Amino acid sequence: MQAIRRLLNRLVGTRTLVTAASTMETRVLNCDPYSITFSEDGSVSISAPDTEFALRTASEILTKDKNVVVFPTETVYGLGASALDPSAVSLIYSTKGRPSDNPLIVHISSRAMLQSLLPPSYIIPSTYAKLMDAFWPGPLTLLFPANPDVVPSIVTAGHPTVAVREPSHPVARALIALANTPLAAPSANSSGKPSPTKAEHVAADLHGRVSLILDGGACDVGLESTVVDGLAADGHLRVLRPGGVTVEDLERVIEGSGVKVLVHRRDYKDEQQEAAPTTPGMKYRHYAPRSPVYLLMQTNSGSTDSKLGAEKVPSVREAITSLLDQLPCAAVGEAGARPVKVGLLSCPDSPLTAALGTPEYEGGDEAGLRVRVEWSRRALGALGEPSVTARVLFDGLISLDQEGVDVILVEGVEETHEGLAVMNRVRKAAAETVWVRV
């Protein structure tokens, strides 16, 4: 029987990963998003047999086995379980090593499924209705009052609110619809690491810890959803976590309503909420690879974060030299055993990239650096393409980490549009911000 199952898996595009340290078999099933269509009533049609097999297999794991499944969304890959089953949700926390006071986002496939999570008497406010009409399905999460008789407290970390979104990725929508249950789903990675935007990212991190990964290709957005709390008495929208729906997008939809869009830590602070967050991404250090990350900020970037005058900020050469000298691996470079491996994520058309691309930063003593440097460069989006930067950020961090670089340098970008979300993630990943003068 096992031989027949493996043969069938190969025929439908299965990849199998087994580790010596674990007896759990991790299967990766390919899903073609273009083979999935939805009717007006929300029913699903799947034209590709292998995709249908993969989705129905995942649905059975979620509903019959009460276990977790990895699936793609437009933002990042998610580790999902039935949001209505506390024991299944507990597997999310144990698989990720996630702190139990870090709440989860619930993913739905219809407005009816949303209503099932809310108190029967609750009426969705007009501001929320506008946002849902504009951005659902899509990368926007909204906080709602939770029905405690339906939503387990393990999902909300004991809060009276639940974070909900309707993903737009066809594989995610189809899986939720077929399983006919809302799915609690954080990013499918070990807690604290960069979020995965490709199935291979998940396989490298969680192999042996999950039984099934649905491979629906690379994620289009590349950063987690924007989380908005509009439940305060003043009616204003508070962005708890910036993401794929930008502040500018939100302001456009509610223009003229008198409602303000306030960004946490930019426009206001809430220490109580930070201590007991109502949504992911607020309390703990996130998105950090094994290699230490340093955020490079330029004095001409327009940011007010630097407490130094421009004339006191070190040049790029001075800053890089000082930084590399402080690394534990610098002694290895000085000894000549190997160069220090430096990963660089920067915008291809920026002055910083131009400066670091010159030969003076490639060598050792003759270049003014006291260690030999081996660069590994990845391009973020161009300066005017923050959506591209968002899409490639996590992939760049993960790929450089897998290369085994000693340190990763990330260029800061302007905090507008998707750049706000990019900088939110980089700051949480970075060990330190280094100011440079170009």
- Domain for residue 38, yes or no? yes
> Is residue 35 domain-shared with residue 147, that is, in the same domain?
yes
**Distance, CA of 177 to CA of 42 (rounded, Å):** 8
pLDDT at position 433, please? 93
pTM of the model: 0.88
Peptide bond into 137 cis (omega under 30): yes
- Domain for residue 241, yes or no? no
pLDDT at position 6, please? 37
**Distance, CA of 351 to CA of 331 (rounded, Å):** 30
Among 412, 423, 348, 422, smallest CA distance to 382 is for 348
- Domain for residue 101, yes or no? yes
> Is residue 181 domain-shared with residue 302, that is, in the same domain?
no
> Is residue 31 domain-shared with residue 150, that is, in the same domain?
yes
- Tokens 């223009």 correspond to what residue? 255
Residue 168 φ then ψ, to 5° = -100, -15
Domain count of the fold of the chain:
2
Amino acid, single-letter form, for residue 120: P
- Domain for residue 243, yes or no? no
Return the CATH number at 307. 3.40.50.11030
**Which of 183, 199, 215 lies at the terminal end of a domain, its last residue?**
215
Return the CATH number at 37. 3.90.870.10
pLDDT at position 195, please? 96
- Domain for residue 247, yes or no? no
Structure tokens at 32: 């073609």
From first to last of its 438 residues, the chain has per-residue pLDDT tens of 333 333 333 333 444 443 333 458 999 999 999 999 999 888 899 999 999 999 999 999 999 999 999 999 999 999 999 999 999 999 999 999 998 889 999 999 999 999 999 999 999 999 999 999 999 999 999 999 999 999 999 999 999 999 999 999 999 999 999 999 999 999 999 998 999 999 999 999 999 999 999 999 999 999 999 999 999 999 999 999 999 999 999 999 999 999 999 999 898 887 776 667 666 666 556 678 889 999 999 885 444 455 555 557 888 888 888 888 777 766 554 545 567 899 999 999 999 998 887 655 554 444 455 667 889 999 999 999 999 999 999 999 999 999 999 999 999 999 999 999 999 999 999 999 999 988
> Is residue 55 domain-shared with residue 148, that is, in the same domain?
yes
> Which of 229-236's residues contact partners 24+ apart within 8 Å by CB, and which partners?
229/142, 229/143, 229/161, 229/278, 229/279, 230/125, 230/127, 230/128, 230/131, 230/142, 230/143, 230/259, 231/143, 231/144, 231/145, 231/161, 235/125, 235/127, 235/259, 236/260, 236/261, 236/262
Residue burial 178-208, b: 16+ Cβ < 10 Å; e: rest:
bbebbbbbbbbbebbbbbbbbbbbbbebbbb
> Is residue 320 domain-shared with residue 186, that is, in the same domain?
no
- Domain for residue 182, yes or no? yes
Amino acid, single-letter form, for residue 361: Y
> Is residue 427 domain-shared with residue 309, that is, in the same domain?
yes
pLDDT at position 315, please? 83
Q: Are the beta carbons of 142 and 132 closer than 8 angstroms?
A: yes
**Distance, CA of 354 to CA of 334 (rounded, Å):** 26
> Is residue 37 domain-shared with residue 170, that is, in the same domain?
yes
> Is residue 150 domain-shared with residue 43, that is, in the same domain?
yes
Q: Is 149 exposed, middle or buried (0-12, 13-18, 19+ CB in 10 A)?
A: exposed
**Distance, CA of 141 to CA of 164 (rounded, Å):** 5
pLDDT at position 271, please? 74
> Is residue 210 domain-shared with residue 307, that is, in the same domain?
no
Backbone angle region of 206, left / alpha / beta, with phi > 0 → left and psi within -120 to 50 → alpha: alpha
pLDDT at position 288, please? 81
- Domain for residue 231, yes or no? no
| C-alpha to C-alpha distances, 216 to 39, 54, 199, 366, nearest whole angstrom | 21, 11, 8, 49
**Distance, CA of 68 to CA of 74 (rounded, Å):** 19
Structure tokens at 215: 């491979």
> Is residue 191 domain-shared with residue 77, that is, in the same domain?
yes
Structure tokens at 352: 């910083």
**Which of 156, 188, 215 lies at the terminal end of a domain, its last residue?**
215
For residue 360, what are the domain limits?
293-436
pLDDT at position 165, please? 98
- Domain for residue 244, yes or no? no
Q: Are the beta carbons of 297 and 305 closer than 8 angstroms?
A: yes
**Distance, CA of 313 to CA of 333 (rounded, Å):** 26
pLDDT at position 100, please? 87
Nearby residues of 345 by Cβ (< 8 Å), 6 or more positions away: 378, 379, 380, 393, 396, 397, 400, 408, 409, 410, 411
Strand spans (E) along 166-232: 183-184, 212-215, 226-229
Structure tokens at 382: 């161009």
Among 175, 150, 240, smallest CA distance to 44 is for 175
> Is residue 39 domain-shared with residue 149, that is, in the same domain?
yes
**Which of 194, 215, 236 lies at the terminal end of a domain, its last residue?**
215
